[in-house]
Amino acid sequence: MSEQKKPAKLSHLQQIDNIYFRMAIVANGVIAIVWTVQMWLRSYHRWHKKHPAQWFRPQLPKVITVWVIGDEPQTPYLYHLMAAYHVRFFRFSYQWTIQDNHVGLTLQLLINPSMYDQVDSILFNGANGLWEVQSKTGTLRHVQFRPHDQVGQERQQQAQRPAQPARKPTKAKLGKSYQRG
């Protein structure tokens, strides 16, 4: 006889959490508007430095949906991963859901549209089986991005390399000395 698994159910606390999450969506909507305006202002300042004579066209943030697996999800690890890459995001909504007979927390993160592909790749490649990223086709998941801390360490190592010794000037056939370089 084959043993069938019991269908996964949300606990009473998770159901109550879902009710609170649904009530908080109104407040999160207001905060998301403020976050979007701040994102636009930062983008405008970067744009204006490079293109002072052109119009700035603000874009709405994109949403990445992440399903964090387990009753006690690893969301702090997810947030630390995003912080390591200096990604600004807004946690728009949460909801306990059941997928493939497993309980998990579904998060919707608002992200600057210019960083969407990078964030999708970071979350997809850094999952280690702790979460799944639902995204659109055509993203850059095959590209491996490095945390800013690693990039900074590599630059420091390059700066700390000993300088090459200066080459001695050589004499030309006509009697003038010159520096080869």
Task: Give the per-residue pLDDT at 28.
Answer: 92
- Element (H or E) spanning 62, and its range? strand 62-69
Q: In what order do the strands lie in the sheet with 62-69?
A: 89-99, 102-111, 62-69, 131-134
- 74 neighbors 130 (Cβ within 8 angstroms): yes
Task: Give the per-residue pLDDT at 38.
Answer: 94
> Reduced to 3 states, what is the DSSP secondary structure of residue 105?
strand
| Dihedral of the alpha carbons of 77, 79, 82, 83, in degrees to the nearest 10 | -100
Task: Give the per-residue pLDDT at 37.
Answer: 95
Show pLDDT as tens, one digit a residue, over the chain (181 residues): 445 677 788 889 989 999 999 999 899 999 999 999 999 999 899 888 888 888 888 899 999 888 888 777 677 888 888 888 888 899 898 899 888 888 888 889 999 888 888 888 888 877 776 777 776 655 666 666 666 555 555 656 666 666 677 777 666 666 666 565 5
Task: Give the per-residue pLDDT at 1.
Answer: 43
Task: Give the per-residue pLDDT at 158.
Answer: 64
Please count the other Cβ atoms lying within 10 Å of the Cβ belonging to residue 120: 22
Task: Give the per-residue pLDDT at 110.
Answer: 92
Task: Give the per-residue pLDDT at 142.
Answer: 61
